[in-house]
Structure 1
Amino acid sequence: MESDRPQKISIDHDDYHAEHIGRTKKGEQFFLTTPFEPAINEKEGCEYIALFKFDNEGNLLEHIIDEIGPRGSYDENERKEKYLARLNELGEVKYCRIEVKPFSVERNGVVFGLITREPEDKEDVWAVELLPGNYMAFFEPWDSGEYDT
């Protein structure tokens, strides 16, 4: 079962959650996304803007995570401006498939990344989930480029 652990996943560019993925002019792979912590019980959730950069082998090189705040507590135009500023920082880009290794980083006690989830029982399968928020989940075959929401 351990042999089925994903070493690298492919993500195809699309017009939804993978709208801003591809390569920079320098050849780095990138993924600009908007993770979130859902509100649970009394705890307010939080929204973020996250920019992840990877080398050609899919190793995480750099991450920039901006805390936006709880849903409804921020100015939507300011959020869009911050998102576009992160995108513009990349310079000239080509939107295309990326192939990256699962990773995790922590910021203020929150875990971010493409995180491997082990099977819980014999009927379960390996997965890679985009956290926080789990709004993209990847399953075998790891090179399909497709995800579930």
Structure 2
Amino acid sequence: MVYGWRTGLALSMMVALGVVSVTAGCGLPLPAVERAESDGFAFPYPTEGRPERIAIDHNTFEAEHVGHTADGGQFFLTTPFEPAGRRFVALYLFDRVGRFVRAEIDPFDKDLYQRRLKNLGKVTFDRIVVEPFEVEKFGQTFGLVVDEPTASDEIWWVTAEPGDYMAFAEPWDLGTYDT
């Protein structure tokens, strides 16, 4: 049987919630630090609380153009948008260990998007592990923005802005997101 990506994501989330529920009931502590890998580089980072790094798995949707450049850097080429309708081309670049380097953001143009992708040179589309960041341009906040909980029953989120079109939650090494 063929499942849609949303069905698969929903099933994965249900399984993950079930595992957390079972381990929480046993009184076993959840590990605060796990290992993440990106391009063969491994480093420990917290998987709970405020994220130092988040994983983004390559897919054929919002994360179609994430991966590594020939020099080992990481990239995320995307099209954020304002709810009112204005779209943008945003290329976010990170170093080998996921530290934010720079952003190239312009009003949306299909040809510009393709040029940005081509100008990256030889790339591999795969999982990236990068730090949250934010930059201001066109009167908007762009980036992978951390949303801190304001109440005890809320959780941490990292959202792709503007447009809140990708939302990441703990554990930060999962690599998947909500839309």
Bin of the TM-score, shorter chain as denominator length: 0.7 to 0.9
Picking from 80, 86, 92, the partner of 1:35 is: 80
Q: Which residue of 2 aligns with 1:18?
A: 63
| TM norm structure 2 | 0.72
Q: Which residue of 2 aligns with 1:62?
A: 102
Task: Confirm whether residue 119 of structure 1 aligns to residue 159 of structure 2.
Answer: no
Letter in 2 for 1:49: V
**Deviation at 1:57?**
1.8
Partner Cα distance (2:98, 2:135) in 1: 15
Partner Cα distance (2:91, 2:150) in 1: 30
Give the number of aligned pairs.
132
Picking from 121, 129, 141, the partner of 2:159 is: 129
**Deviation at 1:122?**
1.1
Partner Cα distance (1:28, 1:130) in 2: 20
**Deviation at 1:89?**
0.6
Q: Which residue of 2 aligns with 1:84?
A: 114
| TM norm structure 1 | 0.86
Secondary structure at the residue paired with 2:116?
helix
Q: Which residue of 2 aligns with 1:76?
A: none
Q: Which residue of 2 aligns with 1:71?
A: none
Secondary structure at the residue paired with 1:125?
coil
Q: Which residue of 1 aligns with 2:44?
A: none
Q: Using the TM superposition, name which of 127-136 and 57-66 deviates more.
A: 57-66
Secondary structure at the residue paired with 1:94?
strand
Q: Which residue of 1 aligns with 2:33?
A: none
More helix by share: 2
Partner Cα distance (1:24, 1:5) in 2: 28
**Deviation at 1:108?**
2.6
Q: Which residue of 1 aligns with 2:172?
A: 142
**Deviation at 1:121?**
1.0
Picking from 128, 131, 135, the partner of 1:98 is: 128
Q: Using the TM superposition, name which of 53-62 and 97-106 deviates more.
A: 53-62
Letter in 2 for 1:134: D
Gaps of 5+ in 2: 1-47
Q: Which residue of 2 aligns with 1:52?
A: 92
**Deviation at 1:5?**
0.7
Cα deviation digits, residues 22-71 of structure 1 (max 9, x gap): 000111100000000111xxxxx411000000001211112100113xxx
Higher relative contact order (CA 8 A, sep 6+): 1
